[in-house]
Structure 1
């Protein structure tokens, strides 16, 4: 129960923010619409800070990342992975979009650079924590912080490209996180623990788990052709666009590249510590086949998303960003009149891929959920 106290505290902050938003701002919605002066500047900043703190804790934004590693080490490979990855990340991440809408209401203050810097710190700190932790849970927790940092960095830019990259991160990062969490649970059963100290196991004993860790890890690093590349590329481009306003935004783009390099090192260290090509005795129980199938199915969906990003950008991401802010809106630190030439070329490239609706996403999620539930039943029967 103690491991969930930060989680419960974050929910309490969220409820307080919702109540104060209704009382102080007389708002039940947060879309940026004229007039932008509803409520005092201090009231808007107070509500915004509560939403931000709630999201930061639930997403494990650094330095609020201390609790996730312990929680992951206690997680089972089915229900906990589903909740932490597929449910918590998009739900908590949506609170950052509320924060963005509230910051846009501020008349005299610009919080964008501060929040973007906080995201950049998490982008670098997450992989560093993953390298320092001597457990599978520590690796996943560090990657969780990395994804949260990318999401915060994109949201805090308050530009078309930044919000689009945040939506894309919300859409695809849960797939990689869920797959990594499930695969780590499967491997921990085979090795008898989450630590990296026990001897490595042969890859053939957990082929699906090995493949899931490789694909999910590559996605979280941000390498093509997986989905992580799209969100990282858009976030970096959005930072470079804002660099004309402040050179520190160029530093944020560099932080994204540094975070990717550190995440790749953490992935290589984890894989080399856990798996070996040769034979090795297994100390734990053999996982049910569906426990390995579930993360593999999620990773297959992840690769599919990365191969066809145009479908998502046209049908889910781009239109969603237009709904958050009215077209043409500008405020302190908010530049929302479209995007620069580089970002427009990227969008036109993705849009040229397909006009088809993104129904394939539902197929991938349905397959993952079916194998999830089967793995959960087997896990409960074996315990």
Structure 2
């Protein structure tokens, strides 16, 4: 009788096969994922669960809904490694040790001449990572308890740096530790969204060449994002500190008539439309994230396209946000996209959002060019594009070629 129970190798290879079927990986990354045992980095978890394409919390947050640390979704791990493009002999710093699994993959990719340092601010997380790396044969990986915003200057410069926590800004210390020509991959947050951005340092400029949707636990110590609660906390706006979102001005937004405008753009059941957000956030400082709870929708607030995270435009006492409605007029793309607005300026804001939907629809795979510069860079030295200023950096975004 043949034993049909899958082995650990079977489970691991099935997971990698699933990831590669959706998005082919560079051969070295695919091979590393077939070698490194994720189950040994998640002790106590059933092997079948360890080799499922999902995140696993390893440390809960007693003060909030988001975990303090988790094992990232394997397909996201693979995507970010492909962005980083590690080479044999690379000197790599990882910010956010997690379970140590990503550091083990980096060790495989860096080879015997590579140097891998992984850090975390939480001593329990670093202990977990250290023990897991020892179990899996990667004792040479350096694990340190450090504030990720400070990096590890004593082992710099690094040819590659990767963050596995959400960053609102690029810390000055990272500029100092990344070698010229070095590569940085980080989940960067702006205007309510997070993208895994791949950047190469050219002197005092970081230049992007890839940008992918992602979601990560935010790093401890950066406070550039704000949450404004409306309608007794049942509606929340998540925005950057430079955006003047005033809860007093918006307090009566639900007492104004609802405005709905519809675009000609349609989407299929499995088709992502997060590019609309990216398109809007590249040029418009009114863009943020709206979160509408079930209670708010029961109270009559219009259902956003995705209740927990949809792009919204907010100006003064008015707002507009993305909506979707299924009408089956097109079986391949059964849902149409539009904008819902409230307040005196609901119509112009909704029209702006419709324009972003339309622009996105003409080239749904397009991503903007991004350059990041030190905060001290004068306007005259910035390329053309939309500028977003933060504490340590100035980001320039554009869909034109002038940013290259």
Q: TM-score range by the shorter chain?
A: under 0.3
Between structures 1 and 2, the one with greater helix share: 1
Pick 1 or 2: higher relative contact order, CA cutoff 8 A, min separation 6.
1
Structure number with larger C-alpha Rg? 2
- TM score, norm. by length of structure 2: 0.27
